[in-house]
Structure 1
Amino acid sequence: MRPRDFTAPRASSRPGAAAGGSSAGVRGTGPELFCQLARVVARLAGRQGLRSFTLPYPLAAQLALDRAVLHCLEIGQAPPRSLPELLEWCRHRSAGDPLFQVPRSLITPEATLVHRVGLLPTRTCLELTSWDPGGGEEEEARRMLDDLATRCGHEELYRRCRQFLAHHPVMRQEDRDPRRGWRPAVWSRVKSLYEPLPEYLKVDGLALQCPACDLPALPSSRKAPAPGQLLSGPDTWCEGEHCPHGLPLELVRAPEQVLLLRRPLRAFLTLPRAVEAAALDALREAEMDFEPLPGGLGAYRLTNSHENCVIRVYDRVQPALLAARYASEAAPSTDRTLVVGPERLAGFPGYRSAFISALPDFLSDRTVLTTPSALVNHLSDS
């Protein structure tokens, strides 16, 4: 039997549908090119990384290159001479660059598509691809979790499998230990969601892992450090992008034996796990009962509330894209929704106002953007 709470049909799977559009609705050659390049960067990095290419280029990449050349000629700029040069532009030219001129109401002006140190898609890039019709990588994560729910057959096993995935984005040989939470019944259902660690995440026969987000990391030097000698900072990259500086990156030996959770699940299940755990702990401490909603990506309904109140947990770097995603998922019957993000959001200038400004009118007066530490206080105010 399909677990009812996790796999019921969703009202809308297209990000931005309720908020008034997707990247197909972006106006202007520069912004459209930026969105097209986001798709190309995500696709190329998923296959081979972004460090080397041979002719002929993949069709989507060639079309983006052709479009970039034409756009540059139209605005009087020197065009890129090759795909690698265009991807280098994606590393240094931000959304607000005169080449792209993406409205700040959609993307923060300083955001790039390729990380300066990691040479891999930024979180902005992946969030933007998920704004497309079809939902991009976020929708792919949902499909993976829906399929997992079907394989599990009952909710408790699905819950354990989902928790395992969230907490084990990098699977080393030593992780297959019952004392670390490994269970054969769980592993048999989730192992298809892992893949071998790609070569572009290896340095000198080793791999690196961020101790804060547990996701892959890389140094700018692309040389393996001695244990404890490399600290996270401006010259390192991890998929979390906003993890604290000064943490010693963990060395992962024998990377040929390492399995990596697929990127959509790393970005949209593993990254928000700390926010989700903290939010649910706060609800339990306040003795507020809740149940999961369909979709698998951090949505819960309060069951002992006098109103139809929903908690949605996200970890996103782009507030307008967050608003579009939330709007596409919001049910008209919901009285109030608390959108819970990381505590660090409070320190991002303009994040809250950008999120609220991007909401459609029908949601603005029944939506609260909060953090785990403030969640219960907001609920008590109702």
Structure 2
Amino acid sequence: MPDTSPLPPYAAAWAAHDGLPLLRTLATALVGLDALTGLDGFTLPYPDEAQRALNRTVLACLLQGAEPPAGLPELLSWCRFRPISDWPLDLPVDAVDDADHLLDPHSGRPTELCHEWAERTADSAVRQRDRDIIRTALRLCRECGEEDAYTEFRRLLVNRPVLSSVEFFEVTNDHVLDPVRELVRRIYLPVPASYLRAGAYTTCARCLTLLLPLQDGAWWCERDQCRRQGSPPSGSLLPVEEVGELLQVERPLRQFVTGPGRAEADLEQALTGLGLRVRMWPAFDAYDLHITFPDGRVWAVDVKDWAHPAFLGRSARPVAPDPPYDEAFWVVPRYRVQDRPGYLDVYRRHRPAAARGLPLLTDTELVNRAAVRLAGAPDGGTRA
């Protein structure tokens, strides 16, 4: 269900800043351009959203008495090489960090933050595409009474974001996925030729998505977590002559389902390694992990792998009460907190009153707390 809780005053005050609608427009334009042209093949006339973004940026600069970009190529250069905090924009506290870019400086592709600005803001033309797909999958599986079909659908998006033609045929003929067969056909799209190097595609061994070849011979992975660990390790090599047409899950789902799903899978592995019983996406995805301790106590966990803590705070809501549990947590990967100073404080400032009692832990903190509880020691209280 969409969150209808009123925003806290701190978050609602964002509406008073003129730079925020512009960031939303820019992010939407960049994501759209990337899907259409890869950001390197645009010609006049520009797509409407891109022209609108350029016009609004020029106007914002003129209002601030600053030199505007001369055209779309220069605007794209700003997005790639100039931190948003250096732009002449009227932005509130918490909107951007000193290191935030809309385009990745190395690859020129939209950053995860850019996708969040495009997908998680109310006036976006591509608003919450991932949620629409997941809601549709839930509805179809519920109508058939097939909880296993939904669980397998989620595992498919998490573990197999890239499929060869043969694999795609096998998946779409898997009877377990019957309720969502047509949906699967719609969300796996042909891979652009920009991912090819020497006639082959290459996956990332860490996050399973496709790697983008760079001009200097290096690889670029679209996941923030992967890039912060250094050069992405090459996974499967997929020559076109062997795999035929390659398909990948569409970008919003890779961003908001596959990526967080990898964090969920890692957390599942860590907790089962402690000897705990873990059930994934119980009761048609009421929450992400249902964790049962040997004494019968149950924890409920929702994993949120988001780059922007204010967006995370504004989306905060109590964990669904069924299946029942004794304690509930939201969990964010530790690297998000490490990479953005004040992440937890920004989250707290922006969460609505209805979620004030919702603890936010890092994945490491949750695993450590579970280990302490298994050892019979006090867990030190709840982190807000």
Match of 1:354 in 2: 346
Provide the secondary structure at the position in 1 that maps to 2:211: strand
2:156 partner amino acid: F
1:358 partner amino acid: H
Provide the secondary structure at the position in 1 that maps to 2:316: helix
Question: Relative contact order (C-alpha < 8 Å, sep 6+): which is higher?
Answer: 1
Q: 1:211 aligns with which of 193, 202, 205?
A: 205
Provide the secondary structure at the position in 1 that maps to 2:16: coil
Counterpart Cα distance in 2 of 1:115 and 1:70: 25
Alignment of 1:170-249 (within 5 A): 170-173=162-165, 175=167, 184-185=174-175, 189=181, 190-221=184-215, 230=218, 236-243=219-226, 244-249=229-234
Match of 1:338 in 2: 329
Assess if the C-alpha contact under 8 Å between 2:19 and 2:89 holds in 1: yes
Counterpart Cα distance in 1 of 2:70 and 2:354: 47
1:278 is aligned to 2:270: no
Counterpart Cα distance in 2 of 1:242 and 1:291: 22
Assess if the C-alpha contact under 8 Å between 2:268 and 2:278 holds in 1: no
Provide the secondary structure at the position in 2 that maps to 1:338: strand
Give how far 1:123 is off: 0.3
Match of 1:368 in 2: 360
Counterpart Cα distance in 2 of 1:38 and 1:318: 14
TM-score, with normalisation over the residues of structure 1?
0.78
Assess if the C-alpha contact under 8 Å between 2:84 and 2:100 holds in 1: yes
Specify whether residues 130 and 198 from structure 1 end up closer, same or farther in structure 2 by C-alpha distance, changes over 3 A only. same
Give how far 1:279 is off: 2.8
Unaligned runs of 5+ residues in structure 2 are: 374-378
1:253 is aligned to 2:239: yes
* 1:238-291 deviation per Cα after TM superposition (whole angstroms, max 9, x unaligned): 111331214433443217510011111111111112221233345555545667
2:333 partner amino acid: P
Assess if the C-alpha contact under 8 Å between 1:165 and 1:270 holds in 2: yes
Give how far 1:182 is off: 8.8
Counterpart Cα distance in 1 of 2:160 and 2:249: 8
Assess if the C-alpha contact under 8 Å between 1:207 and 1:216 holds in 2: yes
Match of 2:316 in 1: 326
Provide the secondary structure at the position in 2 that maps to 1:215: coil
Specify whether residues 146 and 112 from structure 1 end up closer, same or farther in structure 2 by C-alpha distance, changes over 3 A only. same
Assess if the C-alpha contact under 8 Å between 1:282 and 1:372 holds in 2: no
Assess if the C-alpha contact under 8 Å between 2:14 and 2:92 holds in 1: no
Alignment of 1:1-382 (within 5 A): 10-12=1-3, 18-19=7-8, 25-100=14-89, 102-133=91-122, 139-152=128-141, 153=144, 154-173=146-165, 175=167, 184-185=174-175, 189=181, 190-221=184-215, 230=218, 236-243=219-226, 244-250=229-235, 251-254=237-240, 257-284=245-272, 285=274, 287=276, 292=281, 296=285, 299-300=288-289, 310-327=300-317, 337-345=328-336, 347-348=338-339, 349-372=341-364, 374-375=366-367, 377=369, 380=373, 381=379
Counterpart Cα distance in 2 of 1:136 and 1:299: 28
Provide the secondary structure at the position in 1 that maps to 2:302: strand
- Say which structure is richer in helix: 2
Assess if the C-alpha contact under 8 Å between 2:290 and 2:298 holds in 1: yes
Specify whether residues 346 and 146 from structure 1 end up closer, same or farther in structure 2 by C-alpha distance, changes over 3 A only. closer
Count of aligned pairs: 357
Counterpart Cα distance in 2 of 1:261 and 1:137: 16
Specify whether residues 186 and 156 from structure 1 end up closer, same or farther in structure 2 by C-alpha distance, changes over 3 A only. closer
TM-score, with normalisation over the residues of structure 2?
0.78
